[in-house]
Amino acid sequence: MRFSRFKYQFFILSLIGMVAMFAFTYGYHGGFERSISFNGGVRLTIQLPDGMDRDDLLAAAEKAGLPGASARVVDFKRNQYDLEFGPDVRDRIKAEIKEFEKQQDAQAEKDVAEGREPGKKETRTVAGEIEKLILPQLSITAENVISKAAISPSYGQELFETALWSLGWAIGLIGVYLTFRFDFPFALGASAALVHDLIFTLGFIGVMQIEPSVPVVAAVLTVLGYSINDTIVIFDRIRANIDDINQAAQPAIMDEAITQTLSRTVLTSVLTLIAVIALIVGGATSLVDFAYIILFGILIGTYSSIFIASHLVQVYTAIRKKARKGNA
Which burial class, exposed, middle or buried, applies to 1 when counting CB atoms under 10 A from its CB (0-12, 13-18, 19+)? exposed
Contact 307, 3 (CB under 8 A): yes
Residue 125 and residue 183 share a domain: no
Residue 8: CB atoms within 10 Å:
11
- Find the length of the chain: 328
CATH number at residue 147: 3.30.70.3400
Question: pLDDT for 65-122, tens place per residue?
Answer: 998 888 888 888 889 998 988 888 889 999 999 999 899 888 888 888 888 887 788 8
pLDDT value of position 247: 67
pLDDT at residue 40, as a whole number: 79
Residues 303 and 195 both lie in one domain: yes
pLDDT band at 156 (very low <50, low <70, confident <90, very high): low
With respect to residue 113, please indicate whether it lies within any of the assigned structural domains.
no
Name the band, by pLDDT with cuts 50, 70 and 90, for residue 245.
low
Of the pLDDT bands very low, low, confident and very high (cuts 50, 70, 90), residue 20 is very high
Other beta carbons within 10 angstroms of residue 325's beta carbon come to 8
231 lies in the same domain as 296: yes
pLDDT range class, residue 237, cuts 50, 70, 90:
confident
Q: What is the pLDDT of residue 278?
A: 86
pLDDT of 27 above 90: yes
Same domain, 9 and 87: no
**Quick one: pLDDT at residue 118?**
78
Which domain range does residue 161 map to? 3-35+154-327
- Which amino acid does the sequence have at 135? L
Eight-class DSSP state of 77: T
Of 128, 151, 174, which closes a domain?
A: 151
Q: Is the pLDDT of residue 169 over 90?
A: no
Structural domain contains residue 247: yes
Answer yes or no: do 175 and 308 share one domain. yes
Q: Are residues 218 and 77 in the same domain?
A: no
Does residue 105 lie within any of the structural domains? no
Residue 314: the pLDDT is: 84
Encoded amino acid at 39, one letter: N
Q: Has residue 328 got a pLDDT over 60? A: no
Of 4-13, 112-121, 264-273, least confident by mean pLDDT is: 112-121
Positions of E strands within 97-178: 145-151
The answer to whether residue 155 scores a pLDDT higher than 70 is no
> The CATH number of the domain where 275 resides is what?
1.20.1640.10
Is 306 a member of any domain? yes
**What pLDDT, on a 0 to 100 scale, did the predictor assign at position 244?**
67
Question: How confident is the model at residue 119, as a pLDDT?
Answer: 76
pTM above 0.85, yes or no: no
Domain boundary (107, 132, 151) is at: 151
Q: How distant, in Å, are the alpha carbons of 76, 172, 202, 301, 306 from that of 197?
A: 42, 15, 9, 6, 13
User: Does 56 lie in the same domain as 25?
Assistant: no
* E strand map for 16-124: 41-47, 70-75, 80-85
pLDDT value, residue 248 = 64
Last residue of a domain, one of 133, 151, 169: 151
Q: Residue 3's closest CA among 238, 288, 243, 289?
A: 238
**59 assigned to some structural domain:** yes
Give me the pLDDT at residue 59, please. Answer: 92
Same domain for 138 and 200? Answer: no
Confidence check: pLDDT of 14 > 90: yes
Question: Please, what is the Cα angle at 300 between 296 and 301, to 5 degrees?
Answer: 110
Q: What is the mean pLDDT of the chain?
A: 86
> Which has the closest alpha carbon to 150: 97, 104, 102, 79?
97
Q: Judge contact between 311 and 11, C-beta under 8 A.
A: yes
| Within-domain flag for 101 | no
Residue 249: per-residue pLDDT: 61
Residues 133 and 242 in one domain: no
Residue 260 falls within a domain, yes or no?
yes
Count of domains observed in the chain: 2
pLDDT given at position 74: 87
Order of all β-strands in the sheet with 145-151: 70-75, 80-85, 41-47, 145-151
| Per-residue DSSP letter, 114 | T
What is the C-alpha separation between 257 and 247, in angstroms, rounded?
A: 12
pLDDT tens figures, 182-231: 788 888 888 899 999 999 999 999 999 998 887 888 898 889 888 888 88
What is the Cα–Cα distance from 81 to 308, expressed in whole angstroms? Answer: 48
Task: Indicate if 15 and 146 belong to the same structural domain.
Answer: no
Q: Is 168 or 199 the better-scoring residue by pLDDT?
A: 199
Return the half-sphere exposure (C-beta side, CA atoms, 13 A cut-off) of residue 59. Answer: 7
Same domain, 169 and 294: yes
**Same domain, residue pair 172 and 78:** no
Query: Is residue 158 in a domain?
Result: yes
DSSP H/E element including 94: helix 87-113
